[in-house]
Structure 1
Amino acid sequence: MRKFAAMLILLLVVLPQLHAAPKLIHDIDAMQVRVYQLDNGLTVYLTRNAETPRLYAEIAVRAGSSTDPADCTGLAHYLEHLMFKGSSKMGTLDYSKERPYLEKITRLYEQHFVETDAAKRKEIYQKINRTSTEAAKYAVANDIDRIYKFIGGTNVNAHTYYEETIYKVDLPANQLERWATIESERFSDPVFRLFHTELEAVYEEKNTSLDSGARMISEAVERLLFPGHTYGSQTVLGLPEHLKKPSLVRIRDYFQKYYVPGNMAIIISGDIEMDETIAVIDRYFGPWPAKPVPQVKAQPLRAIDGIQRVTVQHEGEEFVTLAWQTVPNQHPDAEALMIFDMILDNSVAGLINLNLVSPQKVRSAGSYVNQLNEAGAQYLWGSPRDGQALEDVEALLLNQIRLIQQGKFEDWLIPAIITNLQSVTESSYETNENRVAMIRDSFIARQPWAEAIQDHARLAAVTREDVVRVANQYFGENYVVGYLVKGKADIQHIEKPPIDAVPLNSSSESAFARSVLALPTTPLSPSFMQKGKDYQQSGPINGVTYYTTQNPVNDLFSITWTFPKGSLHDDLLLTAFDLLEKSGTAQMSSTELGKRWYQLGVSADFYVNENFTEITLSGLASSYEPGMKLLWQWLHDSQFQEATLKKLVADFKISRAEAMEEPGTIIHAMARYHRYGEQSKYLKRTSSEQLDQLSVETLKSSLAQLLKLPHDISYVGQLTENQWREKTPVLKPTAKAPAEPNRPVQPIQEPVEILFYHREMAQAQVWIESKLDGLSPDDLVVLNVFNEYFGGGMSSVVFQELREARGLAYSASGYLSSPRWVGDHYLAVGSIACQADKTEKALTKFLQLFDQLPESDVRFKETRDALIARLRAERNDFRNRVSTVQFWQRRGVDFDLSQRAYQQVPSTQLKELLGFYRQHVKSRPKRISILGDRSRVDLDALKKIGPVRELVAEDIFTR
């Protein structure tokens, strides 16, 4: 018997290795990508990037909304969410006891799916709710995220699009085998537990889209652009009526059909050894059984008959969208159409940029292309100036196409486009995420990597004649016009179903999790940033501090001037830079300047923060000196025109008015008003009347005063400090840096004060805030531990309690923020977006989390170990080293926070975290801002939490 057992064990060990070895398909290109195919059909792409000791992995599935069943739209996206629920081993305490409940839930959902009587559907849902509560007693919520968090993983996420569903994670490089263990288990044996709360989270994501005018007009245009095709009829998030009656059987069938090795790929970029990595992948994923690969039959796509028009009403910015059918991504004309799009709009020197935006004929405009597997589209868009009709913007956009059809574009433009595209590609090599994205796109497009790496060569071969031909061939009088106009949006309100909070077992862990964490790894040695090694610093010398960082990857440079003055010091700075971007010099007009920037392959960018301003020049190293000369002429010899300013002010006033109707701006302004009162930046900003009185001399003076301040200069590239400083003009500071902004937080009179702003929308947005006293930079380590415990990822307190247990929201976050400058404030912040009729319940639970923090030794240990693992693998990439130093300097932190955290976190105990929480966070007075529909939000219930004051736009905005 023992001999038989020993032979059986040997057989089990040997069997997984009986399949053929991975087949190497490709191994030569700029990223040194290796492409393999396992015996079961699974494709594997590997690329080595040793800049940091991390790896970024995606698992790609060729399935998305376009393969959803017509009566179950949104199914692929549902499945994406359910793939985080674990398996018969992962995410469960006892699957044998859990399984009968899950099977009953599946049967109940099938009854719910076919039932048409509303009352009976409610009865079935009540049974689902009760059964789900019983099933959840055996579930470990977000086990997968907890494991990843424990081993230092970040960005655990996924997305669904027309033809793809992608699962992603960023990990320390020594966690490859643990990753393979987790993912091979997840994809070979998924279990769809905790479904009814996840259903609500998905619907909350749909609600978010309903409050977006841009998304609503996009979907309306797609319906007309792709007649008879699922690209137009099936949105990624699905129809509301389908989302509320899902079928777990249909979802399982979809998984079985599309999640098969031959329809999937693993893509990894990072600090990996190729041979070792493919061996691990083959060991864990090779035993997956080969299954039939779904044959995707191209759907019929009818041509557009004439000009099709659609109008959508929504709050916010008005604009027009034009859309044409073109070609799918593997069509011979695909490259010519991409060049056509770049001739229209390349942000700097396209026809739309030079003919419409720069001369202020429209407020804003652009174009973009979308080439999918079965069809393609070209889009143009534009927003009107004050008094300008959308029809006029439409005509101006159409004229730009006619210019290309007539060949009226300059000869230098196509070569310049090719050069700039190559620069973009080179910069993409710098990050693992961008490297993987390039590879993933080729896999989804069913394009062999050997062909994908020739994309740039094919683009470079495009001629003027090719562009003129496709412009005339594809852009006739058969297209779609979409108008987004101001008006009352058509919002579908869905009744909130009764959901009981399910137990989460947050202090438990699955046997699978313990087995994964027991796998041996070689710990990474931490490496903290060192001045003189990772970057060079000189000065300050005559008011200027110089930083130099070497670029080890490509020949792209960037140089940034950072000035200690921002919008809170001078509200006109941003307007001054906006005017600069519309202005030329004594030698060349704004249009000629845009052409020259693009020809050189460099760009100048401006960033005005509340307490500092940055000017950045970046691009090809070969253009450093001419680019610098051009920037200097622009900054010091700009020719501001009153007529340009008047148009700019008019456009700015429209943009400001439209922003005052956008939910994101409103809730932000509410929170700032609640915090600072009349000192809120939205009330202190320059009024419309003052804007009308602006002169070019005032703005020129704002810019000139900025350039006189002490500043930092940070260079990233391949030159030494002496070399780049020799090639760089000098600004000589003659003024003192202004004091940091001082805005005292307003006193609060009640334990909880609520501000409410009415707006008709599907969701309510809630912002919770407390001012924290008695903190200093020495508290930052424990503050970060608290943030990880409270709001860090899907296994955190906030996510688990608000979304996973109760289905109250799609997005919810909670954290403690540190001051942005010396003298600024520490704050506790919570935010949630939820269906309006869930507002009171969501807010009540969130307040409870802040004031009755759940205590869990297991969760704390996971948090602590996660931070340690992350710190071991943490490295600042070469482009962000100096900005990280400056970030902490502005906050008065004179030590390496990562290094201190690595020293202190291992010995931190739960009692220290709780002591910090009780002293600084617990029971602090709360300021609550709520934006939502008065008819859907229960104001009387809110008044039981704290006094409610209703606001209008004039309370929080200066017009």
Structure 2
Amino acid sequence: ETNAGKQSDFVKAITSTPLPDIAPVWVDYNKDIQKAKTGIADVMYVPNKDNSIFRLNYYFEQGNFNNRMLPIALQYLQFLGTDKLSSEEITKQFYNLAASFSANAGNEETTVTISGLQENFSKAVTLFEDLLRNCKPDAAALEALKDRMLKSRANNKTNKGAIAAAIQNYAIYGQNNPYNYVLTNEEIKSLKAEDLVALLHSLPNYKHEVLYYGPAPLAKMSADITKLHTLPNTWKETPKAIQFKPVKQGASQVLFNDYDAVQSEIYWVRDLGQYDAKNTAKIGIYNSYFGGGMGSVVFQTIRESKALAYSTYAFVQTPSKKEDDYTFVGYVGSQADKMNEAISSMNELLKDLPKTEQNFVNAIKSQKKDIETQRITKDGIIFNYLNARKKGLSEDMR
């Protein structure tokens, strides 16, 4: 039995020491983000008042769910050259400019980033724009990329983290789920360099927003990007995204993956219904109290008191979009001979939530302190706004 709720004289002395009040700093999207237009694209701007570094992002509300070739094409881009410059020469030029670029596609959004010194803004953006719009197929680079992808997939079959992610997706969405919505091995092998390059060339014609964090004034930045980033008169139609909805869980179900392993990995997964912003504070406190840290009920009971697991947690996962559902995820990683007892212990906590007043008070204090000390700065302000927008919010979601 743990001594939850009890404190030594030393701890009491520490906790009784008054701390200076720290006022929370809320993001005001209307004041902290300036907006403009470049052609038909919206621009979001946050000034960098600290140094001469800029970060320019092209933000697309499309990703793997719209086109499964898009993530592969963006990986392929870094290995390509143009008629004038090889891939190696482009890399050297970015290095000489003290600049870099990255391009990543998630399931539902894609971000292309160019960063570097503001004095080289025009040269860096011009270099990237030329690469994106004029890159040429490279069969050898594509074959090497395919080999790495297929090898990574083979390795994932023995990676417990990848296996866990796969079975959780299966539990939430069923057989057709986000985890396995990818090209098959045969489809990867049959990919053509010309198709991937054509997709890259067309990317600027799809609707996107321009996000800028840097020292240049908004008016100058907007004028510069209008010259450097050519846009069409109208956007190309975005491919329709596939939709995944959680399966309705009418009864408990056990999904079993039989892998040769020393330890047992057990997960609890449950759909909790559609997102509601009113639940934000309650979920934060619940996660902190029940299973979100070393002082939580789950950790203290299953690991510290009963020594049944090397790792354990439980939390409610908040969706990224207002249309999506909350998901409860619990976890116990234990020795195989302790698995049954560990499962019973977690089930007991889920059925009858222990009440420890001091822990609950601490959970509330922890949430308040996190809000008071958290600072959202730089281009994090813009991405915080984008995350809130997906949830249908127009104010700081905290």
- TM-score under structure 2 normalisation? 0.91
Q: In the superposition, relative to structure 1, how do residues 791 and 625 fare at CA in structure 2: closer, same or farther (>3 Å)? A: same
Q: In the superposition, relative to structure 1, how do residues 556 and 811 fare at CA in structure 2: closer, same or farther (>3 Å)? A: farther
Point out which structure has higher relative CO (alpha carbons under 8 A, 6+ apart): 2
Quick one: distance in 2 between partners of 1:762 and 1:524?
Answer: 47
Task: Count matched residues.
Answer: 394
Q: Does the residue aligned with 1:758 lie in a helix, a strand or coil?
A: coil
Matched residue, 1:594: 91
Q: In the superposition, relative to structure 1, how do residues 701 and 853 fare at CA in structure 2: closer, same or farther (>3 Å)? A: farther
Matched residue, 2:116: 619
Q: Does the residue aligned with 1:672 lie in a helix, a strand or coil?
A: helix
Q: Does the residue aligned with 2:68 lie in a helix, a strand or coil?
A: coil
Matched residue, 1:743: 244
1:778 aligned to 2:275?
A: no
Q: In the superposition, relative to structure 1, how do residues 748 and 627 fare at CA in structure 2: closer, same or farther (>3 Å)? A: same
1:851 aligned to 2:348?
A: no
Q: In the superposition, relative to structure 1, how do residues 523 and 706 fare at CA in structure 2: closer, same or farther (>3 Å)? A: same
Tell me how far 1:842 sits from its aligned partner. Answer: 1.9
Q: Does the residue aligned with 2:257 lie in a helix, a strand or coil?
A: strand
Q: In the superposition, relative to structure 1, how do residues 790 and 603 fare at CA in structure 2: closer, same or farther (>3 Å)? A: same
Tell me how far 1:858 sits from its aligned partner. Answer: 1.7
Tell me how far 1:649 sits from its aligned partner. Answer: 1.9
Select the residue among 382, 392, 396 that pairs with 1:892: 392
1:531 aligned to 2:29?
A: yes
1:555 aligned to 2:52?
A: yes
Tell me how far 1:708 sits from its aligned partner. Answer: 2.3
Q: Does the residue aligned with 1:755 lie in a helix, a strand or coil?
A: coil
Quick one: distance in 2 between partners of 1:808 and 1:701?
Answer: 54
Residue pairs, 1:224-235, within 5 angstroms: none
Q: Does the residue aligned with 1:584 lie in a helix, a strand or coil?
A: coil
Select the residue among 798, 801, 821 that pairs with 2:321: 821
Tell me how far 1:800 sits from its aligned partner. Answer: 1.2
Residue pairs, 1:351-500, within 5 angstroms: none
Q: In the superposition, relative to structure 1, how do residues 703 and 622 fare at CA in structure 2: closer, same or farther (>3 Å)? A: same
CA contact (8 A) 2:71 2:106 kept: no
Q: Does the residue aligned with 1:802 lie in a helix, a strand or coil?
A: helix
Select the residue among 129, 154, 163 that pairs with 1:632: 129
1:800 aligned to 2:297?
A: no
Query: What amino acid maps onto 2:94 in structure 1?
Result: W
CA contact (8 A) 2:56 2:115 kept: yes
Q: In the superposition, relative to structure 1, how do residues 774 and 635 fare at CA in structure 2: closer, same or farther (>3 Å)? A: closer
1:873 aligned to 2:373?
A: yes
1:569-606 CA-to-partner distances (Å, cap 9, x unmatched) read 21111110122111101110111111112121111111
Give the unaligned 5+ runs of structure 2: none
Tell me how far 1:677 sits from its aligned partner. Answer: 2.0
1:903-937 CA-to-partner distances (Å, cap 9, x unmatched) read xxxxxxxxxxxxxxxxxxxxxxxxxxxxxxxxxxx
1:573 aligned to 2:64?
A: no
CA contact (8 A) 2:100 2:116 kept: yes
Matched residue, 2:290: 790
1:18-71 CA-to-partner distances (Å, cap 9, x unmatched) read xxxxxxxxxxxxxxxxxxxxxxxxxxxxxxxxxxxxxxxxxxxxxxxxxxxxxx
Quick one: distance in 2 between partners of 1:516 and 1:856?
Answer: 21
Query: What amino acid maps onto 2:61 in structure 1?
Result: P
1:645 aligned to 2:136?
A: no
1:516 aligned to 2:17?
A: no
1:439-484 CA-to-partner distances (Å, cap 9, x unmatched) read xxxxxxxxxxxxxxxxxxxxxxxxxxxxxxxxxxxxxxxxxxxxxx
**Structure of higher CA gyration radius:** 1
Quick one: distance in 1 between partners of 2:138 and 2:391?
Answer: 39
1:842 aligned to 2:342?
A: yes
1:809 aligned to 2:295?
A: no
Q: Does the residue aligned with 2:45 lie in a helix, a strand or coil?
A: strand
Tell me how far 1:532 sits from its aligned partner. Answer: 4.9
Quick one: distance in 2 between partners of 1:552 and 1:842?
Answer: 52
Quick one: distance in 2 between partners of 1:702 and 1:832?
Answer: 43
Query: What amino acid maps onto 1:780 in structure 2?
Result: T
CA contact (8 A) 2:104 2:112 kept: yes
1:505 aligned to 2:3?
A: yes
Tell me how far 1:528 sits from its aligned partner. Answer: 0.8
CA contact (8 A) 2:288 2:296 kept: yes
Quick one: distance in 2 between partners of 1:578 and 1:775?
Answer: 33
Tell me how far 1:514 sits from its aligned partner. Answer: 3.1
Query: What amino acid maps onto 1:598 in structure 2?
Result: Y
Tell me how far 1:627 sits from its aligned partner. Answer: 0.8
Matched residue, 1:757: 257
CA contact (8 A) 1:562 1:613 kept: yes
Q: Does the residue aligned with 1:757 lie in a helix, a strand or coil?
A: coil
Tell me how far 1:516 sits from its aligned partner. Answer: 2.3
Matched residue, 1:195: none
* RMSD value, Cα: 2.2
Residue pairs, 1:300-379, within 5 angstroms: none
Q: In the superposition, relative to structure 1, how do residues 705 and 814 fare at CA in structure 2: closer, same or farther (>3 Å)? A: farther
CA contact (8 A) 1:781 1:897 kept: no
Quick one: distance in 1 between partners of 2:201 and 2:36?
Answer: 25
CA contact (8 A) 1:550 1:716 kept: yes
Quick one: distance in 2 between partners of 1:773 and 1:888?
Answer: 19
Matched residue, 1:237: none
Q: Does the residue aligned with 1:560 lie in a helix, a strand or coil?
A: strand
Identity %: 24
Quick one: distance in 1 between partners of 2:14 and 2:240?
Answer: 53
1:215-247 CA-to-partner distances (Å, cap 9, x unmatched) read xxxxxxxxxxxxxxxxxxxxxxxxxxxxxxxxx
Quick one: distance in 2 between partners of 1:799 and 1:537?
Answer: 46
Tell me how far 1:542 sits from its aligned partner. Answer: 5.9
Q: In the superposition, relative to structure 1, how do residues 684 and 523 fare at CA in structure 2: closer, same or farther (>3 Å)? A: closer
Q: Does the residue aligned with 1:754 lie in a helix, a strand or coil?
A: coil
Select the residue among 849, 854, 864 that pairs with 2:364: 864
1:654 aligned to 2:151?
A: yes
Residue pairs, 1:245-256, within 5 angstroms: none
Select the residue among 187, 190, 209 that pairs with 1:693: 190
Query: What amino acid maps onto 1:748 in structure 2?
Result: Q
Q: In the superposition, relative to structure 1, how do residues 705 and 806 fare at CA in structure 2: closer, same or farther (>3 Å)? A: farther
Query: What amino acid maps onto 1:747 in structure 2?
Result: K
> Could you tell which deviates more after superposition, 864-873 or 662-671?
864-873
Quick one: distance in 2 between partners of 1:788 and 1:741?
Answer: 34
CA contact (8 A) 1:564 1:709 kept: no
Quick one: distance in 1 between partners of 2:36 and 2:293?
Answer: 39
Q: Does the residue aligned with 2:285 lie in a helix, a strand or coil?
A: helix
Quick one: distance in 2 between partners of 1:767 and 1:713?
Answer: 40
CA contact (8 A) 1:560 1:614 kept: yes
Quick one: distance in 1 between partners of 2:279 and 2:80?
Answer: 47
Query: What amino acid maps onto 1:743 in structure 2?
Result: F
Query: What amino acid maps onto 1:868 in structure 2?
Result: K
CA contact (8 A) 2:150 2:185 kept: yes
Quick one: distance in 2 between partners of 1:774 and 1:547?
Answer: 29
Quick one: distance in 1 between partners of 2:84 and 2:204?
Answer: 22
Query: What amino acid maps onto 1:786 in structure 2?
Result: Y
Matched residue, 1:734: 235
Tell me how far 1:704 sits from its aligned partner. Answer: 4.2
1:317-353 CA-to-partner distances (Å, cap 9, x unmatched) read xxxxxxxxxxxxxxxxxxxxxxxxxxxxxxxxxxxxx
Q: Does the residue aligned with 1:689 lie in a helix, a strand or coil?
A: helix
Q: In the superposition, relative to structure 1, how do residues 551 and 810 fare at CA in structure 2: closer, same or farther (>3 Å)? A: farther
Q: Does the residue aligned with 2:254 lie in a helix, a strand or coil?
A: strand
Query: What amino acid maps onto 1:534 in structure 2?
Result: D
Q: In the superposition, relative to structure 1, how do residues 876 and 684 fare at CA in structure 2: closer, same or farther (>3 Å)? A: closer
Q: In the superposition, relative to structure 1, how do residues 673 and 774 fare at CA in structure 2: closer, same or farther (>3 Å)? A: closer
